[in-house]
Amino acid sequence: MLTTTESIFAVLLAVVGALLFLALVNWVWPRERRQEHTDQIGWQLSVLGTTYAVILGFMLYAVWTRFGEAESNVEFEANDLVSVYWLADGLPDPQRTQMKELARHYAEVVIDRDWPDMDASRLPSASLAVNTEMWKTMMSAKAASPSETIAQDHALNELSSLTEHRRTRVLQSTFRLPVVLWFVLIIGGGVTAASSCLFGSSNIVLHILQVLAFSLLLALGLVAIAEIHRPFQGAVHISSYAFVRAQQNMQAH
């Protein structure tokens, strides 16, 4: 999880590090003496670059897909909550009033407590107590007419879906990329960038620009993965707007 400032600093650090490594290589092994090895270095960089590009692209696709799934799951949870609220109209008293109050309280708790907890990498548990009360209230309802039976049955289905999506959100908020994958990404990026510095180019300015562009692209890819692999933390994260919208919907009626 990185802030915007930390992300910019990380990119600049990677680019400056690559350029400093290029300067070190030119000092230790002058480019004139490296020119005779250009073919071998080019073949090596081609293999390394292609392999690392596949790894980086796949990881970026994987974390972005997971981010989208987490965002959709939040929308489903908020929609289920609104459905429970509306279906409560068909329940007998006092469960009708209790379920409506609990649905509004659930949205409030998710916005005010769950989201700050997830942003701070804490397990979001505040909504669990409200969800438990919703189940107790729903199961205590005694339908006295066919319409109440139908309403209770649909409300139970929506409440079950709400509980499932909440549980998925909790799991998604605790997701972390394994350390071994970060090791592959960071070390692989460093080795690939270092290989681009070994060319014995006769045009030093062009070589500097190539290394700069290459290291910048690698750094941006790594930062993008770091930003979105934890969907509820960091500068790029899923907001609680779905529940704000659900809260407004319930308060309006």
Share above pLDDT 70 across residues of the chain, in percent, rounded to a whole number: 97
Query: What global pTM score does this model have?
Result: 0.88
Residue 49's pLDDT band (boundaries 50, 70, 90)? confident
Which pLDDT does position 150 carry in this prediction? Answer: 92
Across the range 187-209, mean pLDDT stands at 87
Across the range 133-145, mean pLDDT stands at 91
Long-range contacts at 33-42 (CB < 8 A, ≥ 24 apart): 33/200, 34/198, 34/199, 34/200, 35/200, 35/201, 35/202, 36/200, 37/198, 37/200, 38/199, 38/200, 41/195, 41/198, 41/199, 41/200, 42/199
Span 225-244, pLDDT tens digits: 999 999 999 888 999 999 99
Using alpha carbons, select from 98, 91, 93, 128 the residue that is nearest to residue 113: 128
Which pLDDT does position 17 carry in this prediction? Answer: 94
Residue 40 has pLDDT above 90, yes or no: no
d(CA 232, CA 1): 10
Which pLDDT does position 246 carry in this prediction? Answer: 95
Residue 1's pLDDT band (boundaries 50, 70, 90)? low
Which pLDDT does position 6 carry in this prediction? Answer: 84
Residue 70 has pLDDT above 70, yes or no: yes
Residue 189 has pLDDT above 70, yes or no: yes
Mean pLDDT of the chain: 91
Per-domain residue ranges for the chain?
4-251
Residue 109's pLDDT band (boundaries 50, 70, 90)? very high
